[in-house]
Structure 1
Amino acid sequence: MPRTVRTNILITGASSGLGAGMAHEFAARGRNLALCARRLDRLETLREELTGTYPGVRVAIHSLDVTDHDAIFRTFRSFASGLGHIDRVIVNAGLGKGAPIGTGRFDANRETAETNFVAALAQCEAAMELFREQNAGHLVVISSIAGLRGGRRSAATYAATKAGLSTLAEGIRMDVADTPIRVTTIEPGYIRTDLNAGAGKLLFEVDAATGSRALARAVEREPASAYVPGWPWRVVAPLYRIAPAQVLRRFL
């Protein structure tokens, strides 16, 4: 059977990086967009770019701090009302900050945990409320290759949140397996964005444009889960899962 076309797509964390990149990719496919992030000025600029390049596309924007959980539910409902419905929600907003555990930076690790997991949980709740009412929709969570194993140093909390998010998505997917609702976990490899601008050379890294194209293609297929880019991560990720910790220490 032909795959459902998701006409109205909501993306969180859309003001920069992969969120903005995916917005460009889906606009090029003729999809209407509901974009939210903390930085409204960047969203306004992005909307001008998208509607200027793709005049047939509707682009709604809303300022949203995903740590304001009540605001997530209000914003998602507002987008659904304005566009008529939401077909796909991409839970993308996240943080990459952190510090080695026990080094006095609980504040940074807590902020990462609250943004990457608790706020993501709220986004999943808000999206699934809409989809359950519609009995249709596609929930996409942007996890990470980092969630496959524990992370070292500043990545310890980040990796844990992404592991939790992947597990959460799997549970939701099992809950709605007998419905028209689809749930996809995307596990990107190392894609160079503002999130990791200060990092050194990353393993198998790709630029943001390449990563965004690969993300959009993977999302459109609506698999249960996908590594992005597919090459080399479809081969590397299974090895990464089983590699001895002493080997991983050399690369992380």
Structure 2
Amino acid sequence: MTRSKILITGASAGLGAAMARDFAEKGRDLALCARRLDALESLRDELHAAHPNIKVAVHALDVDDHAAIPSVFAQLREELDGLDRVIVNAGIGKGARIGTGRADANIATATTNFVSALAQTEAALEIFRAKGAGHLVLVSSMSAVRGLPGTKAAYSASKAGLAALGEALTVEFAQSPIAVTTLLPGFIATDMAAKAGDARMVAPLDKGVAAMVRAIERERIRACVPGWPWRLIDLVLPHLPRAVVARMS
């Protein structure tokens, strides 16, 4: 099934902007939102220049402003004359060691990555329920596979919550025309990944995003991307001794 009208949050940079470029190349109409309107407008102009036949609508949105999400989604739906895929991509990775006086960073991470993702999911599914069809994509993380210690604790917990939400919705909509995909990206070359992982395990941005888009287009229920080495890590990580996991802090 071709989903021709796609909304992406957190689209001003990183994975969101890269996915927008990939979908634009495929001829899809795009609704892009993020906090930085100037970056979105620059991306819109770039996409229009390269692909003059597609529509690109942009709107400023801070996903932590939960009350604003439904109205922004509705406005973007109106500008594109419909939405048939929403990619909940906006996220942050500010984490600090819990109990070290940086509760603000951990609460912000949990709020954006889970509570705000839930708010986006509410708005997307309200649109899809009214339409009777659609594809919801939740961008979680390989960090969701196992609770990770140290500075990664709040981040992995927030992404595990999002992955659990995806699983719950997959079950709920299994017999319906609404599809749900949960993506678990490994380290892909963005500013966030550069701070988080071993450089030897970081996939180039184009390769990582191509794997994400393939999984989205196939409407996979759950996908670790890129496949290597993350599918293997998905199998092994839950069973590693805690002493080994402790070294990941």
TM-score by length of 2: 0.97
Root-mean-square deviation over aligned CA pairs: 1.2
Whether the 8 Å contact between 2:135 and 2:180 is mirrored in structure 1 is yes
**Partner deviation per Cα, 1:189-236 (whole Å, 9 max, x = no partner):** 111212234346346211222211111111111011000001221122
What does residue 17 of structure 2 align with? 20
| Separation (CA, whole Å) in 1 of partners of 2:138 and 2:195 | 24
What residue is the counterpart of 2:8 in the other structure? 11
Identify unmatched segments of 5+ residues in structure 2.
none
8 A Cα contact 1:37 1:62, kept in partner? yes
TM-score normalised by length of structure 1: 0.96
For residues 111-190 of structure 1, the aligned pairs below 5 Å read 111-190=108-187
Query: Cα deviations across residues 33-86 of structure 1 (Å, max 9, x unaligned)?
Result: 000000001001100111111111110000000000111100111111111110
Residues 199, 181 of structure 1: CA spacing in aligned structure 2 closer, same or farther, 3 A cutoff? closer
2:206 matches 1:226: no
Q: Secondary structure at 1:99's aligned position in 2?
A: coil
User: Aligned equivalents of 2:114 and 2:247: distance in 1?
Assistant: 28
Amino acid at match of 1:161: S
Pick aligned residue for 1:110 from 107, 110, 131 = 107
Alpha carbons of structure 1 residues 200 and 241: separation in structure 2 relative to 1, 3 Å: closer
User: Partners in 1 of 2:193 and 2:224 — Cα distance?
Assistant: 19
SS at match of 2:97: coil
Q: 1:232 and 1:153 mapped to 2: Cα distance?
A: 23
Query: For 2:148 and 2:231, how far apart are their aligned partners in 1?
Result: 20
Stretch of structure 1 that moved more, 117-126 or 211-220? 211-220
Shift of 1:173: 1.5
Taking the aligned partners of 1:46 and 1:215, their CA distance within structure 2 comes to 20
Percent identity over the alignment is 53
**Do 1:190 and 1:203's aligned partners in 2 also have CA atoms closer than 8 Å?**
no
Aligned partner letter, 1:46? L
User: Helix, strand or coil for the counterpart of 1:198?
Assistant: helix
Separation of aligned partners in 2, 1:244 and 1:169:
27
Matches of 1:67 and 1:212, distance apart in 2: 25
Is 1:193 equivalent to 2:193 in the alignment?
no
Structure 1: segments with no counterpart, 5+ residues: none
Question: Is 2:208 the partner of 1:211?
Answer: yes
Matching of residue 31 in structure 1 with residue 28 in structure 2 = yes
Q: Structure 1 pair 242/109, CA: closer, same or farther in 2 (3 Å)?
A: same
TM-fit CA distance, 1:107 = 0.5
Q: Runs of at least 4 residues of structure 1 off by over 3 A?
A: 196-200
Match of 2:38 in 1: 41
CA separation in 2, counterparts of 1:207 and 1:15?
18
Cα deviation digits, residues 158-210 of structure 1 (max 9, x gap)? 00000000001111121111110000000001112122343463462112222
Alignment correspondent of 2:77 = 80
- Partners in 1 of 2:58 and 2:198 — Cα distance? 34
Aligned length: 249
Tell me the SS of whatever aligns to 1:141.
strand
